[in-house]
Amino acid sequence: MDKQHHITPEQYELLVTHAQIGRTINGLAHDVNNYLGVIMAYAELIDAESNLNPDCQRMIREMTDAVELSSRMLDTLTTISLKNSERIAQCDVPELIDGVAALFSYELNLNRIDVTKNIDLKHITLRINEPKLQRIFMYLVVAAIEIAKESKCSSLLLSAYEQDQYVTLSVGLPGIDLGFQVSQGLFDSFYTFPDSNRMIVGLESACELAASLGGELTVDKQHGLQVVLDTSNLPGELSQD
Amino acid sequence: MDKQHHITPEQYELLVTHAQIGRTINGLAHDVNNYLGVIMAYAELIDAESNLNPDCQRMIREMTDAVELSSRMLDTLTTISLKNSERIAQCDVPELIDGVAALFSYELNLNRIDVTKNIDLKHITLRINEPKLQRIFMYLVVAAIEIAKESKCSSLLLSAYEQDQYVTLSVGLPGIDLGFQVSQGLFDSFYTFPDSNRMIVGLESACELAASLGGELTVDKQHGLQVVLDTSNLPGELSQD
């Protein structure tokens, strides 16, 4: 690790703890998905084989919805954790944004940060390495949440828009000028806010990941943290959904 | 970060990815536990309100078992991730060992590593900071799994035993002499195996955590990686269950 990595022992311990927990996610997701599969199958069987009243039928539907929502969160984390996958797939951008945002809904609620979305794309799918793009977007969301907490900003704006051959996914912090943070090294490996112990990791990795997709991480006054993808650089063109 | 932290860009990216995923675990566990609560409540209501045949009653039981097993895995991860908690509680050692081992059951199966347990404790509860002890034990299990994969060892022995005022939790790799790894810096922050890119993180943190509990991380020829706790140093004495 090079000179950029300044980190206190407490921050290091937290990073390592999180890394160890993150390392277990594939196994956890696999096991919990198996249990969810059991629940789903039996809920459907009970519904089919028993003469349930309308109230109980509604409960069965809510159970299967709960299984699906849980399963989706676990799947997003599993996809993100795919190591060095070079698989190129059709990636539905609004779905990707929703999936990543769902991972943080609890933390956002807890910190009273509202999320609004603004998706303005003619083509909503990209032919791209989806785990990488999810990971980049996750890093941007994490960074934005930390900045929002630090600066008492109470909303995030997740947006996606197209201009010429560029598709941009951004995480905006309305009213916050990120110029200061950028000048202080926001894109280094470990950015620590000057007034607190709060730390942002991963933006350096996000830059590298973006570059590997032929894109770039930028900061825009209006849109906040963003990843700009040059679709003429992607392995396939934009495709109509 | 000091000179001990040698790490390749790929390893660094993996560490950061895992850390970002681990960071989401509390929110994920909270949300998924809410969904599991819905499933549990409705399963019980349907069972109570409908005249289910014995087959469907068995399915309800299997559903609630699946909910409980999922919930337990998520709870273990949530407890482990508790940051700087100084809460001292009665900790059931065999349960702690089972909980941590369950997190890795998928990875262990995938790598065909058998787990056996050998718990020989007169007193099975300790008055201790449970998240810290879980975290230490998790680090030991992760390290042992990496060593097992590297050295094609197909079994782990999780044990706990008492001698005088010492309680020891250990993760053994039968037939593997860890002397070489230790001499090569196994307890440094990032240990990389000489013949592969496989990396072990966290043992340095585990040493510090053990010290903060008045204990010590050691390597024993017979028992493998172990944490030795001096119960006369713990905030309360051992208590009969």
Lowest mean pLDDT among A150-159, A192-201, B80-89: B80-89
Region A58-64: what's the mean pLDDT? 95
- Asked if the Cβ–Cβ distance from B19 to A73 is below 8 Å, we say no
Within 8 A of A80 by CB-CB distance, chain B residues are 17, 20-21
pLDDT beyond 60 at A66: yes
Q: What is the pLDDT of residues A30-46, one digit of tens each?
A: 999 999 999 999 999 99
The answer to whether the beta carbons of residues B106 and A26 sit under 8 Å apart is yes
Q: What pLDDT, on the 0 to 100 scale, is given for residue A37?
A: 94
Residue A105: both structure tokens together: 């809904």
pLDDT beyond 50 at A124: yes
Within 8 A of B209 by CB-CB distance, chain A residues are 13
Write the single-letter amino acid at B226.
Q
Q: What pLDDT, on the 0 to 100 scale, is given for residue A2?
A: 42
Q: What pLDDT, on the 0 to 100 scale, is given for residue A68?
A: 94
Residue A196 is classified by DSSP as: S
Q: What pLDDT, on the 0 to 100 scale, is given for residue B211?
A: 93
Within 8 A of A142 by CB-CB distance, chain B residues are 20, 23
Q: What pLDDT, on the 0 to 100 scale, is given for residue B84?
A: 62
The answer to whether the beta carbons of residues A59 and B42 sit under 8 Å apart is yes
- Asked if the Cβ–Cβ distance from A32 to B138 is below 8 Å, we say no
Per-chain mean pLDDT for chain A: 87
Grouping H, G, I as helix, E, B as strand and the rest as coil, residue A241 is coil
Q: What pLDDT, on the 0 to 100 scale, is given for residue B3?
A: 37
- Asked if the Cβ–Cβ distance from B104 to A43 is below 8 Å, we say no
Write the single-letter amino acid at A216.
E
Identify the segments of chain B with pLDDT beneath 50: 1-4, 237-241
- Asked if the Cβ–Cβ distance from A49 to B56 is below 8 Å, we say yes
Region A165-189: what's the mean pLDDT? 89
Nearest CA in chain A to B13: A205
ipTM associated with this complex: 0.79
Lowest mean pLDDT among A94-108, A150-164, A201-215, B4-18: B4-18
| CATH code, residues B88-230 | 3.30.565.10
Write the single-letter amino acid at B173.
L
- Asked if the Cβ–Cβ distance from B39 to A63 is below 8 Å, we say yes
Q: What pLDDT, on the 0 to 100 scale, is given for residue A182?
A: 86
Question: How close A111 comes to chain B (CA, Å)?
Answer: 12
DSSP H or E segment with residue A158: strand A155-163
Q: What pLDDT, on the 0 to 100 scale, is given for residue A241?
A: 39
Q: What pLDDT, on the 0 to 100 scale, is given for residue A235?
A: 64
CB-closest option in B16, B56, B60 to A202: B16
Within 8 A of A106 by CB-CB distance, chain B residues are 26-28, 30-31
- Asked if the Cβ–Cβ distance from A21 to B22 is below 8 Å, we say yes
The answer to whether the beta carbons of residues A79 and A26 sit under 8 Å apart is no
Nearest CA in chain A to B23: A18
Domain ranges of chain A: 23-80, 88-230
Q: What pLDDT, on the 0 to 100 scale, is given for residue A33?
A: 93
Q: What is the pLDDT of residues A207-238, one digit of tens each?
A: 999 999 999 999 988 889 999 999 887 765 44
| B231 vs B128: CA distance, rounded Å | 9
**In this complex, how many residue pairs, one in chain A and one in chain B, have their CB atoms less than 8 Å apart?**
227
Q: What pLDDT, on the 0 to 100 scale, is given for residue A64?
A: 95
Question: How close B192 comes to chain A (CA, Å)?
Answer: 14
